[in-house]
A and B are shown apart, each in its own frame.
Chain A
Amino acid sequence: MKDTIIGLGKAVCLLGDVLKYIVRGRVRWDEVFKQVYEQGVGSLIIVTLASAASGAVLAMQGQVMMGRFGAKEFIAQLVALSLVREMSPVFTALVFSGKAGAGMAAELATMSVNNQLQATRVMGVDPVEFFVVPRMLACFLVLPVLVVVSELVGILGGYFIAVTQAGIPSSYYYYQTVHAIGYSDFFCGFIKIFVFALLIGWVCCYKGISTTGGSLGVGRFTTAAVALCYVLVIVSNTFVTKMVLTFWGNG
């Protein structure tokens, strides 16, 4: 318990340091772009596959459920709204935690147990500035893009099933989708991703740089980081959804 509170305090200090460097403009953009590339490329394929599959599954289930009420032509709305408001942001964040988040945590953890972070410090460079700030910023740049990709691919997946299996005319599906998604729907979902970006970057970097205990420690801290990300993403999603619904209503 005591350790948890101390850990929380240290994590808050880390976030404070990160903000300090960003506010002072001490950001290494070349490192940020390296990280964007690494995180983005690593997660893109999995996000694409997962999104296409979820879009397709939504359409399959939609065909059955909507069919029961004789409202098959609303499959497009079901797919588009579920993806944009809920599924894409959450799925993308989970995939991102497992891929890019785990990658960041493991990398920093290895550097921590090999004294590379200490070495950075003795060479007069703060590892927070050199390693953590670029990684956390990259999360904010990569995740929104991944979410948009996920939404587009997911809608395509749904489209494929609706057109080939449910016999919905292609142009009709397109028309329904475009008219289903309002700005508020898009932003309801999109706003969440910034909360997730903060949580994932913060947790994975903090766990990474505080790793001790050799290669065993690297495994332990990395798994802990990813597990914590999953929990935080899912739980915070509930709160953010409630908040968003309160502000934007459901119209």
Chain B
Amino acid sequence: MIRISGLVKMFNGVSVIEGMDLTIPTGEILAVMGPSGTGKTVLLQHLAGLLTPDAGTIEIDGQDIGALNDTELLLFRHRIGYLFQEGALFDFMTVEENVAFPLKEHTRLNPTEIQTKVNEFLELVDMAGQGDKYPSELSGGMKKRVALARAMVGDAKVLLCDEPTSGLDPMRSRDISELIRRLSKKLGCTTVLTTHDVINALRTADRAVVLNEGRIVADGDEALLRSSVNVFVKEFLRV
């Protein structure tokens, strides 16, 4: 379970997140929606311990991540899978080496076991047989799928996806959304994804929140959001 309470984050005196409270039960897929620049990425970076809150706390499975030192944070992150907006694959490594990286770093698996696991995950994201390619030889959608495999291969319990559908055509967007849902449910992850793509967010998630200027203005499943009377939410869902 992820519990965010009273989260405040400011950059250069301007607050980006203004006192956010949010609880995400284990195994749930939550979509954080909102227009660009509302602090969605900033929120995810807090969940991964990449940014420190100016106020408030973040607890993941009972662990207050603000209380961890640098070394403990690195250890804590073994439980986290983070899908960056552009994938952020290592461009000097092949697809296979990228996916193998978390396993080589943090497990005692031998090379054959690593290879088996890498193949299994490449299969899951529909990239079987493409392990020898370099990221520069892949399309945007393929990069995201490989990055998803890399994020989940180390038995991540929490999956964070930043704009998984951005820059993809409608079909690829639907595919990656369904893939995230399928993998997340199969592996039992608690998943938070950010997006301004309403259709695919609702396709992937069990529940969605709408952010506006650092605050949550709507929270619930699709029906609840659609029945919201908030002007901003109505406007946002209409486009």
Contacts and interface: CB of A to CB of B under 8 A. Distances in A.
A116 B82 CA distance: 12
Given A118-B88, A119-B88, A124 B50 contact: no
B156 to A, nearest CB: 10
A124 B77 contact: yes
A119 B48 CA distance: 10
Contact of A122 (B77, B85, B89): B77
B84 interface: yes
A124 B74 CA distance: 4
A125 interface: yes
Contacts of A126: 70, 74
B101 to A, nearest CB: 7
A121 interface: yes
Interface in A73-121: 110-111, 114-116, 118-119, 121
A122 B90 contact: no
Q: Which of B88, B102, B105 has the most CB of A within 10 A?
A: B88
B88 A123 contact: no
B48 A122 contact: yes
Contact of B74 (A110, A114, A115, A125): A125
Interface residues of B, number: 23
B161 interface: no
Contacts of A110: 91
Contact of B88 (A114, A124, A125): A114
B75 A115 contact: no
B151 to A, nearest CB: 8
Nearest to A123: B102
B88 A121 contact: no
Q: Which of A111, A114, A122 has the most CB of B within 10 A?
A: A122
Contacts of B80: 122
Interface in B57-100: 70, 74-78, 80, 82, 84-86, 88-91
Interface of B: 48, 50, 70, 74-78, 80, 82, 84-86, 88-91, 101-102, 105-106, 150, 154
Interface of A: 110-111, 114-116, 118-119, 121-126
22 contacts: A111-B91, A114-B86, A114-B88, A115-B84, A115-B88, A116-B89, A116-B90, A116-B91, A118-B84, A118-B88, A119-B84, A119-B89, A121-B50, A121-B74, A122-B50, A123-B77, A123-B101, A123-B102, A123-B154, A124-B76, A124-B77, A124-B78
